[in-house]
Structure 1
Amino acid sequence: MADLFDTGAKPSPEREPPRPLADRLRPQSLGEVIGQQQVLGPEAPLGVMLASGSLSSLVFWGPPGVGKTTIARLLAQETDLHFVQISAIFTGVPDLKKVFEAARIRRGNGQGTLLFVDEIHRFNKAQQDGFLPHMEDGTILLVGATTENPSFELNAALLSRAQVLVLERLSAEDLEHLTARAERELDRELPLTPEARLALQEMADGDGRALLNLIEQVAAWKVAAPLEREALAARLMRRATKYDKSGDEHYNLISALHKSVRGSDPDAALYWLARMLTGGEDPRYLARRITRMAVEDIGLADPQAQSVCLHAWEIYERLGSPEGELALAQAIVYLALAPKSNGAYVGYKAAMRLAKQSGSAPPPKHILNAPTGLMKDQGYGAGYAYDHDAEDGFSGQNYFPDGMERPQLYQPVERGFERELKKRLDYFARLRAQREQG
């Protein structure tokens, strides 16, 4: 019976169809893999596993184009396992059952199966649970690949049975090595100046597959002289920056922005702000997070910082993009250069812990109001000292529950306006000690 997908046309036996450069340069051994020595080196996890002859189930976590599929295929080759590749995007439960059954039969015939699951985070919890019995009885050795943080996207049960290995975006050195390898395969140098060559590699944004696709385009051009950076940019569309507003990269970049502000580095803070904006982040989200930075990291060392952030937020709402984003940038610079204190933030968290520990301990009766005679009879309000009538406007009375040792929750720093607050705190502490002695 003829193949249902047979078109009737037969390929010429003399000529093979052209293969993409990325396919032609696919490594044939783990030693040919460019980069990822943190997992492939002799003392790295995979190097140790292969040397000991004991390969466990794995999850590769990393950005696109860094070799996840290639390494999985080569691991199967190195360990004499049958390689099966599926994608979580296109595979349903019936397909998984067929894969597991084929692996079971294969195992009965004496051969193991390395099942590579691309985009494994796309499987739901029930589907992920379906791998567990087949991993436990040795029917499959699972190698999953994900661009998302496995801690958030994969079941704890699956993660407990697999080792997570982080694959990194290719470095500038790795990309140059890959470019040179491509030129040897093409048997000619790329028609680019050194500056344009570097620009081409920057366009790949750490993605080896993207770089090879760009190289293949450039190698096909007929040019009289090497192209400059500007000419290259005019001929190629720059690759969009990797940024997922709801994924791991979103949290990585807002963390970088926040820590740059905390570290008083306005240049780095502006860079990460720009990275998020060019990636399509909602400026309103940034306005909210910037205001949170003022509260958490600047605090009372510069109370004006919160007003600067709120005004920047309001300006953005009035102007919109892109003009309003300049107000956010100005707020970022102000925060980065402001004196820093988390004294109030730390004090608040300490107060929350103390409140949970102390349960329902009531306030001391002398600071309770007594609107009824019964409450007066119970001692409510008895002995309360009205601070305005006291010397220096300070009575020094206890306002914590009876029997609780007085804590020091707020500890201001010697920076900015909080230096003045520390002087006031120390002043009241001295007065309190005097009142207690008197």
Structure 2
Amino acid sequence: MSGLFEAAGLEKGAPVPLAERLRPASLSEVVGQRHLLGEGGKLSVLLTSPSLPSIILHGPPGTGKTTLARLIAQESGAHFEQLSAIFTGTADLKKAFAAAEARRASGQATVLFVDELHRFDKRQQDSFLPVMESGVVTLIGATTENPSFALNRALLSRAAVLKLERLDPDDLEKLTERAETALSAGLPLTEEGRRTLISLADGDGRALIGLIEQIASHRGDPLGRDELLRSYAARATAGDKGGDIHYDLASVLQKSIRGSDDDAALYWTARMLAAGEDPLFIFRRLTVIASEDIGNADPRALQVVVAARDAFQQLGEPEGHIPLGQAVAYLATAPKSNASYAAFKAAKRLAREHGSLPPPLHALNAPTKGMKEEGRGEGYRYDHDEPDGHAGLSYLPEGLERTPLYEPPQRGYEKVIAERQAAYRQKREKG
């Protein structure tokens, strides 16, 4: 049997991964999450409760969700059982629940940790409810998704939701120092290289440890910023096309453009590309922004986006990123107005409220004698025959009180539109 262990590299003295060597032995050793673990922190308070409630740990990768779950079970004296929703089916859940029931019968509680909990479907999530309510298991679920959207309301109502934060630079520096202690050596980094290492980890403790393991074996001159960026695999920028970060980045991009912060708009566009976002998704968002947030204050904005998208499709990547950047910069610095967007929303509301009102008779064609006798087309005046190209007729349904919908502000091209619109309204009021 000993030969099998030796073949697997598990013989006495086999190397232990750095992440395992740095695993905290108690909650007091956890790096980061001071808002949860500090005095008065939500988790600290929960651990003083007579009975531990079920918990949902929500946060980015590498923030310590699995470690916290283990330590919570340890603090409460419960048996720790770990599952992953990626590899677990309904039959596996039933076995876990049955084993927990057997433990409870012998007087031992069970903390059931489920990683990627959001990957379970509604039926599987519902299966936790009876065993949570009866105390068979205390569930600790981990998810990188927003629980409000990813988890059943019934499940959420039975658990405390704790949000974990990305590790800040001080946390990552502390973790780096612990790694150096475990390795019995300082890392071969210049001062700038050390700052770059922290930056590359991007708030992810697990990614930091992985980078440290690569760097620790380096022999030669200390590594600086350029050497790190060139020679060592950096963590991929957070993006997750199907998750919260995907929509968060799209949201902050739109708000940056709406707020005319061109530096931020360009930065977030670059972040989305670095995360592997489909540039056509970005162009779709820019098309919405051009109409919703800029509108007729600069009608060219929409043309710029459409032309940039066409250019991207012609050029491909990476050259197609150039017109993308041009479009983002143009939108961010363009005058802003949502007047046309707001006007159309109001028009749709008006149409819903007043039903199927008929058009005014003067606006209807009368190709037959009978239609003319009905009064169709009577009083119509051809606008192009008028001296100023406007006859001043109203085209709203009879009986529908006119409420101005489109109110262009005095910004950008809408200054011109507002002047023209005022003249049209004045002539219409005169009849």
User: Would the TM-score normalized by the shorter structure come out above 0.5?
Assistant: yes
Q: Within 2, Cα distance between the matches of 1:424 and 1:54?
A: 71
The Cα shift of 1:11 comes to 11
Q: Please, which moves more after superposition, 274-283 or 225-234? A: 225-234
Q: Please, which moves more after superposition, 342-351 or 180-189? A: 180-189
Please list the CA deviations of residues 75-97 of structure 1 after superposition, one character each: whole Å capped at 9, or x if unmatched: 12222322111111222222211
- The alignment status of 1:72 with 2:87, answered yes or no, reads no
Please list the CA deviations of residues 78-129 of structure 1 after superposition, one character each: whole Å capped at 9, or x if unmatched: 2232211111122222221111011112222333221110111222222222
Match of 1:198 among 187, 195, 200: 195
Q: Could you say what secondary structure the match of 1:142 adopts? A: strand
Q: Within 2, Cα distance between the matches of 1:182 and 1:287?
A: 43
CA shift in 2, pair 1:240/1:9, >3 Å: closer
The Cα shift of 1:416 comes to 0.3
Q: Please, which moves more after superposition, 383-392 or 209-218? A: 383-392
Q: Could you say what secondary structure the match of 1:369 adopts? A: coil
Pairing of 1:32-51 with structure 2 (within 5 A): 32-51=29-48
- In the other structure, the counterpart of 1:307 is 303
Amino acid at match of 1:144: G
Could you tell me whether the CA contact under 8 Å between 2:188 and 2:216 is conserved in 1? yes
CA shift in 2, pair 1:237/1:142, >3 Å: same
Amino acid at match of 2:414: E
Amino acid at match of 1:62: G
Pairing of 1:139-288 with structure 2 (within 5 A): 139-223=136-220, 225-288=221-284
Match of 1:23 among 9, 20, 27: 20
Q: Within 1, Cα distance between the matches of 2:9 and 2:414?
A: 82
Q: Could you say what secondary structure the match of 1:253 adopts? A: helix
Q: Within 2, Cα distance between the matches of 1:247 and 1:291?
A: 22
Q: Could you say what secondary structure the match of 2:187 adopts? A: coil
Q: Within 2, Cα distance between the matches of 1:281 and 1:348?
A: 31
- In the other structure, the counterpart of 1:7 is 4
Amino acid at match of 1:271: Y
CA shift in 2, pair 1:17/1:309, >3 Å: same
The Cα shift of 1:422 comes to 1.2
The Cα shift of 1:58 comes to 2.1
- The alignment status of 1:135 with 2:132, answered yes or no, reads yes
Amino acid at match of 2:284: R
The Cα shift of 1:417 comes to 0.2
Q: Could you say what secondary structure the match of 1:28 adopts? A: coil
- The alignment status of 1:108 with 2:105, answered yes or no, reads yes
Q: Could you say what secondary structure the match of 1:65 adopts? A: coil
Match of 1:119 among 116, 121, 124: 116
Match of 1:296 among 292, 306, 309: 292
Q: Within 1, Cα distance between the matches of 2:188 and 2:3?
A: 41
Amino acid at match of 1:206: G
CA shift in 2, pair 1:399/1:230, >3 Å: closer
- In the other structure, the counterpart of 1:370 is 366
TM-score, structure 2 length as denominator? 0.91
Amino acid at match of 1:23: E
CA shift in 2, pair 1:268/1:428, >3 Å: same
Q: Within 2, Cα distance between the matches of 1:274 and 1:292?
A: 19
Could you tell me whether the CA contact under 8 Å between 2:118 and 2:150 is conserved in 1? yes
Amino acid at match of 1:80: G
The Cα shift of 1:274 comes to 1.5
- In the other structure, the counterpart of 1:84 is 81
Please list the CA deviations of residues 283-326 of structure 1 after superposition, one character each: whole Å capped at 9, or x if unmatched: 22322322222111111001111111121122222222222220
Q: Could you say what secondary structure the match of 2:207 adopts? A: helix
Q: Within 1, Cα distance between the matches of 2:310 and 2:262?
A: 22
Q: Could you say what secondary structure the match of 2:4 adopts? A: coil
Match of 1:403 among 378, 399, 403: 399
Amino acid at match of 1:400: L
Q: Could you say what secondary structure the match of 2:111 adopts? A: strand
Q: Within 1, Cα distance between the matches of 2:303 and 2:424?
A: 28
Amino acid at match of 1:423: E
- In the other structure, the counterpart of 2:425 is 429
Amino acid at match of 1:300: N
- The alignment status of 1:336 with 2:299, answered yes or no, reads no
Q: Within 2, Cα distance between the matches of 1:266 and 1:9?
A: 59
Q: Within 1, Cα distance between the matches of 2:319 and 2:5?
A: 60
Amino acid at match of 1:56: P
Q: Could you say what secondary structure the match of 1:116 adopts? A: strand
The Cα shift of 1:37 comes to 2.4
Q: Within 2, Cα distance between the matches of 1:294 and 1:178?
A: 45
Pairing of 1:315-394 with structure 2 (within 5 A): 315-388=311-384, 392-394=388-390
Give % identity. Answer: 56
Q: Could you say what secondary structure the match of 2:421 adopts? A: helix
CA RMSD of aligned residues (A): 2.7
Q: Within 2, Cα distance between the matches of 1:386 and 1:233?
A: 69
Unaligned runs of 5+ in 2: none
Q: Within 2, Cα distance between the matches of 1:27 and 1:94?
A: 33
Amino acid at match of 1:166: K
CA shift in 2, pair 1:163/1:429, >3 Å: farther
Could you tell me whether the CA contact under 8 Å between 2:394 and 2:428 is conserved in 1? no
Q: Within 2, Cα distance between the matches of 1:393 and 1:8?
A: 92
Q: Within 1, Cα distance between the matches of 2:132 and 2:73?
A: 16
TM-score, structure 1 length as denominator? 0.89
Count, aligned residues:
431
Q: Could you say what secondary structure the match of 1:64 adopts? A: coil
Could you tell me whether the CA contact under 8 Å between 2:79 and 2:110 is conserved in 1? yes
Unaligned runs of 5+ in 1: none
The Cα shift of 1:231 comes to 3.4
Q: Within 1, Cα distance between the matches of 2:375 and 2:121?
A: 62
Q: Within 2, Cα distance between the matches of 1:388 and 1:18?
A: 87
